[in-house]
Structure 1
Amino acid sequence: METSIEIEVRPTEIDVMGHVNNAKYLEYMEWGREDWYNKANLSFDRFTEMNIGTVTVNININYRKEARLGEHLTIRTRPLKRGRTSYVLEHVIENEQQELVADAEVVNVTIDLKTRKSVPIPKELADRFPS
């Protein structure tokens, strides 16, 4: 399942170079992940009921084209692959001209909320990934 959200670049997201600050792309992607989880019926509350947390352990991001104030961006999120306790979500950010602005692979690990140790991915999450 792929999801997408649209945002408008705000003044607080611009750096001294006049474009989106690199750290803001991480926020955009986090918003995309949150939307993906919610549309997959895996809200924060659902994970808590399962005693599961998700922790981001690696982000490999490519900055392809600058984005500027007022531009509308689309953030697409989709599941790429999964292991036993980790999984990878892909994010693609495009501008209004459908030009690639940034892309990333984000590795997450599922943990037990009490022990704070990694645990196998719950079936509800695992089923969202390609076999």
Structure 2
Amino acid sequence: MTWQNEIDITVRSTEIDVNGHVNNAKFLEYLEWGREDWYEQLGLDYATLRDLGVVTVVVNVNANYRREARQNDNLRVRTNLLRVGRTSFVMAQEIVNQRGERILDAEITLVTIDPVARSKVPVPDRIRQYALER
């Protein structure tokens, strides 16, 4: 698969849990960093989304933890907009290590909401255009 966005992360000592590997919750933060970079690289930063009348909210995370990651590992977070519904969309993400081994893969469902009314609104075409599955 060709990825729309990739960022690199080096695992720091503060991200390690008592088991000596990256804590599972930290991986969710890595995925968030990847999604935020995806938005910014496509010109969909927070201010632009608000100008479009939407903000995005994560409503479901389906993550498969495949391997552990340890301190000083170099990780790459890859992100794609997979598919878009009327008021929601699904992003595919994966994290691989410096050896190319898949550490985690996930599908994240987000909903677009009106930032004032806090109710669902249609996904703007400005986001919709990047979906891989049409």
Q: Give the match for residue 59 of structure 2.
A: 57
Q: Give the match for residue 13 of structure 1.
A: 15
Matched, 1:128 2:133: no
Q: Give the match for residue 79 of structure 2.
A: 77
Q: Give the match for residue 35 of structure 1.
A: 37
Q: Give the match for residue 87 of structure 1.
A: 89
Q: Give the match for residue 100 of structure 2.
A: 98
Q: Give the match for residue 119 of structure 1.
A: 121
Q: Which residue identity does 1:84 align to in structure 2? A: R
Rounded to whole Å, the distance in 2 between the matches of 1:45 and 1:115 is 17
Q: Which residue identity does 1:5 align to in structure 2? A: I
Identical columns (%): 47
Structure 2: segments with no counterpart, 5+ residues: none
Pick aligned residue for 1:4 from 3, 6, 17: 6
Q: Which residue identity does 1:48 align to in structure 2? A: R
**TM-align CA RMSD:** 0.8
- 1:17 is displaced (CA, Å) by 0.2
- 1:39 is displaced (CA, Å) by 1.0
- 1:50 is displaced (CA, Å) by 1.6
- 1:60 is displaced (CA, Å) by 0.2
- 1:51 is displaced (CA, Å) by 2.1
TM-score (norm 2): 0.95
Rounded to whole Å, the distance in 2 between the matches of 1:29 and 1:77 is 8
